[in-house]
């Protein structure tokens, strides 16, 4: 995953993006969550399947390590 996701303060305001592109991880995740297929995301943003799955894994890792307060 580290080879597919980068975070640089001068690219997209320091948000995680697909390495070698300016495509934010959040956009990839949002498109899939909205019903777009992986193949369509790949075509729309000129990404590989590995890159799309790296974005999904990145998001999963963030959520897995997030502490959420419950009421």
- pLDDT tens-digit series, residues 3-14: 899 888 888 888
CA angle, residues 42, 30, 54, in degrees to nearest 5: 55
Question: What are the residue ranges of helices labelled H in 1-71?
Answer: 25-33, 38-45, 49-64
H or E element in which residue 17 lies? strand 17-18
pLDDT for the residue numbered 67: 79
For 29-54, how does the pLDDT look when each residue is reduced to its tens digit (9 = 90+)? 999 999 999 999 999 999 999 999 99
pLDDT(24) > 90? yes
Kindly list the domain boundaries of the chain, sorted by start residue: 5-64
Please say whether the beta carbons of 61 and 54 come within 8 A.
no
Query: Selecting from 3.30.1600.10, 1.20.1300.10, 3.40.50.2300, 1.10.10.10, what CATH number does the domain 5-64 have?
Result: 1.10.10.10
């Amino acid at each position: 995953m580290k080879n597919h996701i980068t975070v640089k303060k001068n690219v997209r305001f320091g948000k995680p993006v697909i390495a070698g592109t300016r495509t934010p991880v959040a956009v990839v995740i949002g498109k899939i969550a909205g019903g777009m297929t992986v193949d369509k995301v790949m075509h729309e943003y000129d990404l590989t399947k590995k890159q799309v799955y790296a974005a999904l894994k990145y998001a999963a890792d963030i959520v897995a390590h997030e502490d959420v307060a419950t009421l």
